[in-house]
Amino acid sequence: MTPAAQSATPDAAPLLPADDPSIFEMDLRGLRRHWAARADLPAISAETMTGADRRAQALGYPELRLMEHAGTAVAAAVRALATDVDRWGTGPIVVLCGPGNNGGDGFVAARRLALAGASVIVAVVAADARPRGVSAARNWDRVARDKGIVKVHLATARDVAMFGLGVEKAAVVVDALLGTGVRGALREPIRSTVEVIGQARAAGVPVVAVDTPTAVDLSSGEPSDPAVSADLTVTFHRPKTGLLTRRGAAYAGRILVAPIGIPVEADRG
């Protein structure tokens, strides 16, 4: 067994998401119980999480594998939420992916949702259609080869506005735009996409955020303007301080903390 295939907990249970097909049979309550050990850990800041991620990679836990676990956890949570609210199969799952690793998690989630039988639309919200990061780019390439997934490139605010027409027909919208690196006002086309997510949620479409709702600081919980308001946020490895503040929690909605294979020794840097 490779290091990334092992659980970060001493008893090696539960399995990590990409190795655990049972998570696609669970409702949200079941997922919360399944990953309860993660939620019970002390909360950490975005900076601490970034350090743990880097140390994990230095210890031989590849970024690509960590991303696979993260995206698979998101996919299972999206399926659980959609099933819980009777929206699974009622329309496409729309996955909005930014240019960085948050978008890479979204590409994995899109692929896993398609494997689970969902109709999936992936929108790349960035100047370039293909991400520059190695792991995100590799996961984009896998999505690009999947003829069952609809792909859209949204390079400008106008592209986003056109795409947003009819977004209320989505079964679920997944916010995989930006993770921990948000500073200051949002730029286009991300800003317009956040507004489209708001329109979808106002129309009754559930929103699932990857790691953090876009423009909500994982350390402080303070939002930029605009910021995504989610019904469910799937964050990784350990709870985040920002999502436990009053403001952060209001934007995050329900929170799941999923394991992604970062070992305990990576927390000790």
pLDDT tens, 251-261?
A: 999 999 999 99
- Spatial separation of the C-alpha atoms in residues 56 and 45, rounded to whole Å: 16
Q: How far is CA 221 from CA 74, 249, 250, in A?
A: 21, 8, 9
Q: What is the pLDDT of residue 181?
A: 59
According to the model, what pLDDT value does residue 14 have?
77
Identify the residue whose tokens are 């949570």.
77
**d(C-alpha 33, C-alpha 26), whole Å:** 10
Q: pLDDT tens digit string along 108-128?
A: 999 999 999 999 999 999 999
Cis peptide before 42 (omega within 30 of 0): no
Length of the chain equals 269
Band of residue 67 on the pLDDT scale cut at 50, 70, 90:
very high
Instruction: Report, as an integer, the average pLDDT of 130-141.
Output: 96
d(CA 222, CA 202): 22
pLDDT band at 12 (very low <50, low <70, confident <90, very high): low
pLDDT at 238 over 70: yes
| Residue type for position 225 | D
Supply the DSSP string of 115-182, one letter for each residue: HTT--EEEEEESSSSS-SSHHHHHHHHHHHT-TTEEEEEE-SHHHHHHHHTTGGG-SEEEEES--TT-
| pLDDT for 107 | 98
Cβ 201 vs Cβ 232: under 8 Å: no
Give residue 146's pLDDT band: very low, low, confident or very high (50, 70, 90). Answer: very high
For the stretch 159-217, pLDDT in tens is: 999 999 999 999 999 999 998 756 678 999 999 999 999 999 999 999 999 999 999 99
The pLDDT confidence band at residue 6, using thresholds 50, 70 and 90, is very low
Rounded to an integer, what distance in angstroms lies between the CA atom of residue 147 and that of residue 78? 21
Task: Give the Cα separation of 52 and 73 in Å (integer).
Answer: 19
Question: Helix or strand or coil: residue 233?
Answer: strand
Question: Over the stretch 16-27, which tens digit does the pLDDT of each residue have?
Answer: 999 999 999 999
Q: What is the mean pLDDT of the chain?
A: 93
Domains and CATH numbers, the chain: 21-263 (3.40.50.10260)
**Could you tell me if 48 and 266 are in contact, meaning their C-beta atoms sit under 8 angstroms apart?**
no
